[in-house]
Amino acid sequence: MARKDNRKLREMIKEYGIKDMKDVQEFVKMLTAETIQVALDAELENELGYSRYDYRNKKTDNSRNGYSSKTVQGSMGEVEIDIPRDRKGEFEPELVKKHQTDISAIEDKVIYLYSQGVSIREIQKTMQEMYGINVDDSRVSKITDKILPMIREWPERPLQSVYAMVVLDAIHYSVREDGHVTKKAAYVAIGTGLDGMKEVLGIWLGASESSRYWLTVFNELKNRGVEDILIASVDGLTGFVEAINAAFPKTEVQRCIIHQIRSSTRYVSYKDLKEFTIDLKPIYRAPSEGSGLAALDDLEKKWGAKYPMSVKSWRNNWNELATFFKYSPLIRKLIYTTNAVENFHRQLRKVTSSRLGEFLPPASHTTGRTVPYHGGSLS
């Protein structure tokens, strides 16, 4: 097999008249460009679902629309490639992304794998299997160390002065620290700016969740430039509302309806659970606060004697549960649960399945300041 490859290579060298290192570089650039070109054409073919001239199997009203020229930086210098286009402008190539100008950066691939929770050993194996590249552990460490300044800078970056909504919740871990397993909470804040764009404002690693600790989080947000939050979506943690009001007194608080349902059905008998849950729906699906309260009255008439605490929890928390009634149905869907942060929690679980301290920027439990964390790994 090696002899056949060598023969082909000698023939190509002769065909292209390669005589010096400059010719070698140009030859590699040509091979790189052609390889990428074939791969990009294959991507578009897969996207459209039919080959270039196979119109009989075409099942889309979209089609090819020529190419756009692009100059990218390769390991041997600049390379000219043609990016295939589609008629509708929906095609986004994965191999060379829209604004990507460097195709030589192995480091980007290593950092991406590292950010996904892949271990150094697994990164080495992946680079070898996918790209035929041997990357020793010291090189991987040097590459990943480059992102440490960004990690340190990220939790202290300035924030917008006003956020339309901030969703707040904590995710809990069992962490091995100094030979002992202890509980830690990663406090997460996700903000939606006035432009509608979401961003993770910060992640703070501290002791088990408490309203007192959340107050340190709010004060840090203020120190980083946040002056006002229009709506805060939170779970049912005791003292949460008071902590928000202390830092942002004008903020409207929406308690998560899903958390409230879970909390109020906790002590409902299993045989009554389905019926009780159905009777809750008219409350939070009501078109107005008045009709929601009327549905709560109906719930109390039916279940109040049997499950007084379950009904009472809706009464006691009504001010925060009913905030979403002030807004249109579209906005209600955005604020009545903390689903946005819980979706983010699932992503955190993926990347922290093997080690916690490498990914979460922690904070001091007493001051709320970001401090280096060398605590250990998940148990």
In terms of residue numbers, what domain contains 226? 160-351
Pair (96, 125) in one structural domain: no
pLDDT score at 102: 61
- Tens digit of pLDDT for each residue in 189-209? 999 999 888 899 998 887 777
Buried b (16+ CB within 10 A) or exposed e, 276-305: beeebeebbebeeeeebbebbeebbeebee
* Mean of pLDDT values over 300-309: 95
**Residue 36 is assigned to a structural domain of this protein:** yes
Query: How high is the pLDDT of residue 318?
Result: 95
* Residue 370 located in a structural domain: no
Q: 248 and 166 in one domain?
A: yes
Same domain, 121 and 26: no
What's the domain count of the chain? 3
Q: In this structure, is residue 363 part of a structural domain?
A: no
Read off the pLDDT of residues 233-253 as tens digits, 9 standing for 90 and up: 998 787 888 889 999 999 999
Residues 120 and 83 placed together within one structural domain of the fold: no
How does the average pLDDT of the chain come out, rounded? 77
**21-44 pLDDT, tens digit each:** 677 667 766 766 776 777 777 777
CA distances from 54 to 23, 48, 49, 51, 186 (A): 38, 11, 10, 5, 53
> Is the pLDDT reported for residue 6 higher than 90?
no
Alpha-carbon torsion angle 291, 292, 294, 295, nearest 10: 120
